[in-house]
Amino acid sequence: MRVLGIDPGSIVLGYGVVDDAGQLSLVECGVVKTNPRAPVERRLADIFDGICNVIESTHPDEVAIEEPFVGVNVRSAFMIGRAQAVGMLAAARAGLSITCYSPASVKRLVSGYGSGDKQQVRSMVSMELNTRNLPAESDASDALAVALCHLHHLRADRLAARARK
């Protein structure tokens, strides 16, 4: 199973692709950067193109996307929601199944703590994928965490199905 994880953002969107062939392994990760001065429709088009390119080059089986966090800045949450929708559109266009996870769910599953900081998440992703070569951008490691969260859910579902038989 190969999963593309997406950490949506309207200026910097993180992506991470993870394989689960009995052992988890990093395929690719990085960011899609847009020009913060560009009109929103141009940034969204750039994000769409970037995600389509990642899908085309890595051939994921499924896509997992983090949901926007609505804190004090509602406008920011709306922008992130737009980026999330563009990611969903790119995945749907490729015929991929999409699952969304809350930020707290991702942090809880990957780091064991729903309010963990970005450094904790990055450290746990690095350990779980047995790599120290993560990009400097936390958006990429956050996207890998989303992919790992989805793979853990899939593993749990398989175990539960076997237990029911």
Give me the active site residues, please.
7, 66, 139
Question: What confidence score (pLDDT) does residue 90 get?
Answer: 98
In the predicted structure, residue 87 carries a pLDDT above the cut 90 = yes
Residue % of the chain over a pLDDT of 90:
62
Residue 112 has pLDDT above 80, yes or no: no
130: containing domain: 2-164
Phi/psi of residue 155, each to 5°? -60, -45
**Range scoring the smallest mean pLDDT among 32-46, 87-101, 121-135:** 121-135
Q: How many CB atoms lie within 10 A of CB 110?
A: 26
| Structural domain count, the chain | 1
Which residue type does 89 have?
A: L
Give 165's pLDDT tier (boundaries 50, 70, 90): confident
- Who's near 68: CB < 8 A, 6+ residues apart? 8, 77, 78, 80, 81, 84
Give the pairing type, strands 62-66 and 97-101.
parallel
CATH of the domain at 29: 3.30.420.10
